[in-house]
Structure 1
Amino acid sequence: MMEEYARKGTPKQREFLYDLLIAEQRSRTDARRARLLRAAKLPALKTLDGYDFTAITFPADYGREQLTDLDFLEHAQDLILFGDVGTGKTHLATALAVAACRRGISARFFTTAGLVMQLRRAKAEGRLDKELASVAKNELLIIDEFGYLPIDDEGARLLFQVIADGYEKRSLVVTTNLEFKRWGMVFGDENMAAAVIDRLVHHGRLLQFRGQSYRVKNALMR
């Protein structure tokens, strides 16, 4: 029917119809972006605008432009943001999730403790499979503050399941201040930690953060 209207309409009418369709498309795109941002459950709306990359050491074969282009999402690659507290790891992870949502890519942000708690609750209520499926729908997962709090055996197994299920299917961004050799303490099992690390490094890159905490540097209590 639209084609018929366009064919029979005057130039002005066709121009109006074109503008109307473009406006409708933009409205739907904006609405989808807004839905994705809400679903991502971000702690704050951080962006890459003005972000200071000076604290980051990139791998030799990977740089800022590739990161901000979100090329890692196209290949279901992973990122480990490792380094000192307060140097911008969570900000960057959040900003990457925002950038993904604005491109129409689904993302979900979790703290490690929050994810484990959510999975434990789902298991206790007999809906773990449904919860894992919900997490798996996202093309990008952020797991923040890995290693900041201890995880019990059941929590470690649930976290391992999320990471293993996403291998080569979706991208994972992990923020942590623990080097790989200490991940066994978090999982309580060196073999499980080794299996997680093996998956993450296969299609992943390590970004190292060094420097003084931004919060300490700008603290009122000095």
Structure 2
Amino acid sequence: MNPVSVEELVQAGRAASMTASVISEWAHKGTPKQREFLYELLQAEHESRTASRHQRLLKAAKLPALKSLVGYDWTSVTFPTDYGREALSDLDFLDHAQDLVLFGDVGTGKTHLATALAAAACLRGIPARFFTTASLVMTLRRAKDEGRLDKELGSIAKNQLLVIDEFGYLPIDSDGARLLFQVIADGYEKRSLVLTTNLEFKRWGTVFGDDNMAAAVIDRIVHHGRLLQFRGQSYRVKHALMK
């Protein structure tokens, strides 16, 4: 019998979806050295599949940039008394479909933190999606115009974490406000929302153009949510070339 080629092994590996019974059978047939080789092979395959899944999730998240919690400057952030950096970094809020509002001054790290949380979720195998408020409204409006709004909402709903960045930076018309409200309301107690804004709650009615709609959104977010406050000088201004 001719030796099995590398190409044949690759083809067989691609075709195989191994079961526990097959692995057990061949492990019992093998020598200790062969079982060690088989174990290392399966570990390498697992690591490769995990890395590929993480990369797929990062691509699907459509992050504006790949950010990390490592080295993040926390000096501008004030946490609630019952919540801190360790719990946030552990992503424990995702396990309970809790929300976060990152509120405060421009340039103090809100978007960086929201992006880093989404990236961390993807690297743990948790689906996440990043939108600016304007891009989310535009995506929903286009889907509605093309008769595929339900499909788009279903796609967004597959994510365990939704980031909505720059809430309140641009005005939203009434139709866009209703679509945004639908996304937030649909996610209530099902998935986590991270929302960045420089508007205090009392001014959210100016974004939705309807105080009642804003109140309904706030009611849902504060029920299972926490407020992180950001104060300080803009990082971009501090490090700007133009003085």
Query: 2: distance between equivalents of 1:81 and 1:142?
Result: 11
Counterpart of 2:125 in 1: which secondary structure? coil
Tell me which residue corresponds to 1:185.
206
- Name the residue aligned to 1:59: 80
1: CA distance, partners of 2:74 / 2:93: 18
The C-alpha deviation readout for 1:14-61, integer Å capped at 9, x for no partner, is 000000000000000000000000000000000001001110010000
Residue of structure 1 equivalent to 2:106: 85
User: Which one of the candidate residues 91, 99, 117 is aligned to 1:96?
Assistant: 117
Q: Which aligned runs of 4 or more in structure 1 are off by greater than 4 angstroms?
A: none
**Rg (Cα) greater in structure:** 2
Deviation at 1:99, TM superposition (A): 0.4
Alignment of 1:19-168 (within 5 A): 19-168=40-189
Task: Name the aligned partner's letter for residue 25 of structure 1.
Answer: H
**Post-superposition CA distance 1:185-212 (Å, at most 9, x none):** 0000000000000000000000000000
Secondary structure of 1:129's aligned partner: helix
Counterpart amino acid of 1:183? Answer: W
Q: Equivalent residue for 1:215?
A: 236
| CA deviation string 1:127-152 (max 9, x = no partner) | 00000000000000000000000000
**AA matched with 1:74:** D
The Cα of 1:107 is off from its aligned counterpart by: 0.2
The aligned amino acid for 1:34 is Q
TM-score (norm 2): 0.91
| Equivalent position SS for 1:12 | helix
List per-residue Cα deviations over 1:90-110 (Å, max 9, x = no partner).
000000001000000000000
The CA deviation at 1:2 is 1.7
Question: CA deviation digits over 1:75-132, x for unaligned, max 9?
Answer: 0000000000000000000000010000000000000000000000000000000000
By how many angstroms is 1:4 displaced? 1.2
Aligned-pair RMSD on alpha carbons? 0.4
1:151-181 deviation digits (Å, cap 9, x = unpaired):
0000000000000000000000000000000
Between the aligned partners of 1:2 and 1:187, the Cα distance in structure 2 is 58
Match of residue 13, structure 1, among 30, 34, 54: 34
What secondary structure sits across from 1:143 in the alignment? strand
In structure 1, C-alpha distance between the alignment counterparts of 2:155 and 2:172, rounded to whole Å = 22
Query: TM-score scaled by structure 1?
Result: 1.00
Q: What SS class does the counterpart of residue 86 from structure 1 fall into?
A: coil
Rounded to whole Å, the distance in 1 between the matches of 2:143 and 2:25 is 52
